[in-house]
A and B are shown apart, each in its own frame.
Chain A
């Protein structure tokens, strides 16, 4: 069993001369404290420090991804120190093909979210909360210790709450923030219980307490019923975070009330904790239970796709409309992951990255649009394309990427996800594919109302400023680049995805009919010229 321990033989620093992963967490956390201590009067300095720190983190994350070795299924750049020794709690960080690009995209999105939107009050606190949120997200994505993961996961809650409650749009914002908090907190509580139960039960079997993810993954003595219960406990937290239908109703409220930066993080970063969590802590930790529960997850995902788009199409507020499409888009990822195929798995990870980029870009642009027009009601918009053709072109590009037009990033993930599920769970995939039509309907309807026609109020949208273009440019480059040449990314994601699939196949006592079933493909094909 120990051979399953998926740690690559890499030193702590991974050749950087310093532990790169802790640096990625500590830099934003430290700067958050520094900003909190800064005098209130130093707002401009705070803006630059916040942006600078998040850019440093982005640089570190990209450097890490560049050094990330292709073809290895295990964790790289692992650092481990004992922390709370009696309980077997460690400060242990590492990345593999599942997490590496999610870490990068998170690190890239935060500078955009800090520098991109207009923040009209207390930029110092805004940047501080953003950086704390960043530290929490990145820490959670890299933790290889359950308790450490949980702490980071929870660390994201207060900053997100503050970003909705303090920088939100309307007086209703604190209600939305509370709803967000209650929902996520309830999910987290169930996860904590499941986590402690897992550790406790394993400790009883093995004789020593450990929160080490790798040990708990490799050696399990759980009965099937127990593992299903634990699976559901973890799944509750992630289902809220993603969100999966019917745990989604906090999202539209939170999105509508959140400031632009808050919306970007909600749509582009927070959900990655959900999909990542499903892969790492539901499927990899409880493969047998995952297979048993797959019909439930597939069904909820498929319902979410159709339901999300249908509800979205009648919304009149642009943010609420796009928020509902998130439920649908993420439903596709859930459906793809729980089909348990190579395509669905790699596609799910890849789509998590894509979706983060595209949706962050979309909510940034929506924020800029609302700033310009002074309303988020679609019926009051219109005609922006005439005044601001570049703005419109960028918005349309992002729209098409979300709709899944080939050549842009969204298509690759969507195609792999739907294909993967089709190979093993045909009818769910057919329902999910209906989303392709509905997505076009919803997004083009939103685009038409906002950008086509003639201005309906006195306020017309101004063109993107140079600063705004600069901020959105990296996202546009990613949208095109990830769509045209996904291979370097997929080559790094695939081995880790295969590792987890192999575990699913073995532990589920449901050995794949042949290697093809894991990949969903007949082997003879590979011999083709």
Chain B
């Protein structure tokens, strides 16, 4: 059954090829269904693989599959193949599962878009790349997926490329990710230099071998990989592409920029945990970075008006929690929160898409309100996700976030405190969003009348039903919401903090068991930590409820500093675009044109002078040179002949 693994990967690839080369003949809805079926098939294969692996003994759950040799040079041989183990199967399960739901949703959401087919082409290619990323049996094959998802992200953020903002956001996402890839590449070079291989198993089994990895090298590899992870998972300081990436269609935001791709950094750090363990300083760096990012992004989320940008900053913040978990060596908790987040954040985005769809591409929350009465499926499912992300029991986010905070407390109470402060902010901004969108008075009827129809540029999403009250989308859009809501309600069951009920931790323990084991914490301490965070969450919730229910206009609570995300974009524009551009222009005009070229211009002037003489002799440049070559050669040959002969 474990041999189903290649199918997880091949089905989306086949779907991509079929849609790319014959999608035009398939027509509009059919192309979407083909794409969805390919991913559903991939999910089934993932389930089969999971079951197969589960039947094997706990000590044998690590299967390497090598399909072919990709790059053989010198002593380095890089293969194309998979590492099937508890970590990679867990990842493939949720990646393909959430992807299948979002494919289904997209059939409704993208209906009427002129590039409907192309959307599914990209989406299938994305799923293929993502599966390569998590299944890859060596660093380089993982990197193939890593770059593949980045490329798909570029294609999908820029899906409505006629808008300059979308095109620019797509480019930004790719370039910023490349800054992370710079680290990833150098880390791989160091790994090859030390181990002579990029194969995960080879590397990890040789960690303590005859030539053990030094602390410095381990730290260097860890930090360089962390740079890669920071780029992909939008952590400080490489986060700003993610809010901009909201220019993409909403299902893309749900799939790529919330549930799957951005978690790749967390996956990578978990995958290489044996290397991290050589150098404890790496853990501290990751934990601090995660905690700071979580808090920072949460503050910004409190002052955003765009429904998707709130969720984007929220994603950055939640990813920060996952890094905090990894940095506390609580890999089980980090992966647990990744799963929880995948469910509730995908749900939040899809529900937000449903709202945007219902309001014909309105994204400003200040122009929403009262939608609870019009969206009977979207509203309750959104509420479930809201409670889950806020950390209210018994939803999945409560359990997974508290696992991370428990581990963080174990590592350092200061980190825990930052995490708890973030809980307060999270509950606050999510409640603010819920109140602004679903409660209070309907502000959209007047707003929509006065605003020009922004839906035109989008093409598809606002394409139908130009008038009438907001209403739910078709069933393909509603059912995924319900399924994700169910997963959000019961998702906590996979890893409850009660002895044998910690299924996920146990399942992952052979791949990633750090010292962040919570078993050492006493039940009383654990219970009091849980109580504190729950109370804090409820305080944040109540605060926002009372503040935003009555008024939507509170500029004092939305300072410009937060609205502009601490002016980071302005500063980076000034530094990179303006100063960097000026430097480049100086290079181009002064150095290249005057200094480097100056020498040749001198030669050129000489040649022109010579050419003038030559022209008077009625011959062209080239013939003259050719004659020169010939004459010179004859002379030199003659000279040599004389000397040698």
User: Which A residues are within 8 Å of any B CB, using their own CB?
Assistant: 86-87, 154, 157-158, 161-162, 175, 178-179, 181-183, 185-186, 189, 192, 196, 199-200, 203, 209, 246, 248-250, 307, 310-311, 313-315, 341-343, 346-347, 383, 385-386, 389, 400, 405-407, 411-412, 415-416, 418-419, 422-423, 429-430, 433-434, 436-437, 440-441, 444-445, 448, 451-454, 485-487, 490-491, 494, 498, 516, 518-526, 528
Known: A192-B632, A485-B70, A518-B74. 13 other contacts (CB 8 A): A158-B626, A182-B603, A182-B607, A183-B600, A343-B74, A343-B76, A407-B147, A415-B185, A429-B189, A441-B178, A523-B196, A526-B75, A528-B202
Contact B196 A522 (CB under 8 A): yes
Contact A436 B181 (CB under 8 A): yes
Q: List 6 A-B contacts (CB under 8 A).
A: A162-B622, A343-B74, A436-B182, A436-B185, A486-B71, A523-B196
**Closest residue of A by beta carbon distance from B143:** A406
Instruction: Tell me how far the C-beta of A218 lies from the nearest C-beta in chain B, rounded to whole angstroms.
Output: 20
**Closest residue of A by beta carbon distance from B160:** A452
Query: Secondary structure at chain A's binding surface: helix, strand, loop or mixed?
Result: helix
Instruction: Tell me how far the C-beta of A512 lies from the nearest C-beta in chain B, rounded to whole angstroms.
Output: 12
Q: A196-B640, A310-B587, A521-B75 are in contact. Are A440 and B174 (CB under 8 A)?
A: yes
Q: How large is the interface on B (under 10, 10 to 19, 20 to 34, 35 or more residues)?
A: 35 or more
Contact A519 B76 (CB under 8 A): yes
Contact with A along B570-610 (1 / 0, CB 8 A): 00000000000101110110001000110010011001100
Q: A315-B588, A422-B186, A440-B174 are in contact. Are A192 and B167 (CB under 8 A)?
A: no
Q: A154-B629, A249-B596, A342-B74 are in contact. Are A454 and B162 (CB under 8 A)?
A: yes
A520, B118: Cα distance in complex, Å: 44
A346, B73: Cα distance in complex, Å: 7
**Contact partners of A185 in chain B: CB under 8 A:** 625
Contact B71 A412 (CB under 8 A): yes
Contact B74 A249 (CB under 8 A): no
Contact B193 A520 (CB under 8 A): yes
Flag whether B192 is at the interface (Cβ < 8 A): yes
Contact A445 B171 (CB under 8 A): yes
Instruction: Give the residues from 191 to 249 in chain B that come closer than 8 angstroms, CB to CB, to chain A.
Output: 192-193, 195-197, 199, 202, 210-211
Contact B76 A521 (CB under 8 A): yes
Instruction: Tell me how far the C-beta of B214 lies from the nearest C-beta in chain A, rounded to whole angstroms.
Output: 15
**Contact partners of A400 in chain B: CB under 8 A:** 151
**Contact partners of A516 in chain B: CB under 8 A:** 75, 196
Contact with A along B136-155 (1 / 0, CB 8 A): 00001001100110010010
Query: Of the candidates A178, A430, A523, which one forms a contact with B75 in the assembled complex, judged by CB atoms under 8 Å apart?
Result: A523
Flag whether B633 is at the interface (Cβ < 8 A): yes
Query: Of the candidates A178, A248, A422, A485, which one forms a contact with B604 in the assembled complex, judged by CB atoms under 8 Å apart?
Result: A178
Contact B196 A524 (CB under 8 A): yes
A182, B583: Cα distance in complex, Å: 30
Contact B600 A179 (CB under 8 A): yes
A-B pairs, top 8 by smallest CB distance, nearest first, are A519-B74, A342-B74, A525-B196, A521-B75, A452-B167, A422-B189, A521-B196, A406-B144
A494, B76: Cα distance in complex, Å: 12
Contact B604 A436 (CB under 8 A): no
A498, B72: Cα distance in complex, Å: 13
**Closest residue of A by beta carbon distance from B595:** A246
Contact B189 A423 (CB under 8 A): yes
A249, B148: Cα distance in complex, Å: 35
**Contact partners of B147 in chain A: CB under 8 A:** 405-407, 411
Contact A182 B600 (CB under 8 A): yes
Q: A342-B73, A405-B151 are in contact. Are A209 and B588 (CB under 8 A)?
A: no
Contact B162 A383 (CB under 8 A): yes
Contact A158 B583 (CB under 8 A): no
Contact B168 A448 (CB under 8 A): yes
Instruction: Give the residues from 603 to 645 in chain B that come closer than 8 angstroms, CB to CB, to chain A.
Output: 603-604, 607-608, 611, 621-622, 625-626, 629, 632-633, 636-637, 640-641, 643-645
Contact A314 B581 (CB under 8 A): yes
**Closest residue of B by beta carbon distance from A179:** B604
Contact B186 A433 (CB under 8 A): yes
Flag whether B175 is at the interface (Cβ < 8 A): yes
A49, B636: Cα distance in complex, Å: 39
A520, B197: Cα distance in complex, Å: 11
- Of the listed residues A181, A314, A441, the one surrounded by the most CB atoms of chain B closer than 10 A to its CB is A314
Flag whether B539 is at the interface (Cβ < 8 A): no
**Contact partners of B151 in chain A: CB under 8 A:** 400, 405
Instruction: Tell me how far the C-beta of A202 lies from the nearest C-beta in chain B, rounded to whole angstroms.
Output: 11
- Of the listed residues B71, B73, B167, the one surrounded by the most CB atoms of chain A closer than 10 A to its CB is B73
A525, B68: Cα distance in complex, Å: 18
- Of the listed residues B71, B162, B622, the one surrounded by the most CB atoms of chain A closer than 10 A to its CB is B71
A445, B581: Cα distance in complex, Å: 13
A175, B608: Cα distance in complex, Å: 9
Contact A415 B597 (CB under 8 A): no
**Contact partners of A87 in chain B: CB under 8 A:** 637, 640-641
Flag whether B507 is at the interface (Cβ < 8 A): no
Instruction: Tell me how far the C-beta of B623 lies from the nearest C-beta in chain A, rounded to whole angstroms.
Output: 9
Instruction: Tell me how far the C-beta of B96 lies from the nearest C-beta in chain A, rounded to whole angstroms.
Output: 20
**Closest residue of B by beta carbon distance from A196:** B636
Query: Of the candidates B179, B210, B622, B641, which one forms a contact with A161 in the assembled complex, judged by CB atoms under 8 Å apart?
Result: B622
**Contact partners of B626 in chain A: CB under 8 A:** 158
**Contact partners of A179 in chain B: CB under 8 A:** 600, 604
Flag whether B69 is at the interface (Cβ < 8 A): yes
Flag whether B377 is at the interface (Cβ < 8 A): no
**Contact partners of B644 in chain A: CB under 8 A:** 200, 203, 209
**Contact partners of B581 in chain A: CB under 8 A:** 313-314
**Contact partners of A182 in chain B: CB under 8 A:** 600, 603-604, 607
Contact B167 A448 (CB under 8 A): yes
Instruction: Tell me how far the C-beta of B414 lies from the nearest C-beta in chain A, rounded to whole angstroms.
Output: 34
Query: Of the candidates A178, A199, A386, A440, which one forms a contact with B178 in the assembled complex, judged by CB atoms under 8 Å apart?
Result: A440
Instruction: Give the residues from 337 to 356 in chain B that come closer than 8 angstroms, CB to CB, to chain A.
Output: none
Q: A406-B144, A433-B182, A521-B74 are in contact. Are A422 and B162 (CB under 8 A)?
A: no
Contact with A along B114-154 (1 / 0, CB 8 A): 00001000000000000000000000100110011001001
Flag whether B188 is at the interface (Cβ < 8 A): yes
Contact B144 A433 (CB under 8 A): no
Query: Of the candidates B74, B179, B197, which one forms a contact with A437 in the assembled complex, judged by CB atoms under 8 Å apart?
Result: B179
Flag whether B158 is at the interface (Cβ < 8 A): yes
**Contact partners of B164 in chain A: CB under 8 A:** 452-453
A146, B70: Cα distance in complex, Å: 37
Q: A451-B161, A452-B162 are in contact. Are A522 and B640 (CB under 8 A)?
A: no
Instruction: Tell me how far the C-beta of B401 lies from the nearest C-beta in chain A, rounded to whole angstroms.
Output: 34
A182, B609: Cα distance in complex, Å: 13
Q: A400-B151, A528-B202 are in contact. Are A249 and B600 (CB under 8 A)?
A: yes
Instruction: Tell me how far the C-beta of B633 lies from the nearest C-beta in chain A, rounded to whole angstroms.
Output: 7
**Contact partners of B171 in chain A: CB under 8 A:** 441, 444-445, 448
Instruction: Tell me how far the C-beta of B600 lies from the nearest C-beta in chain A, rounded to whole angstroms.
Output: 6
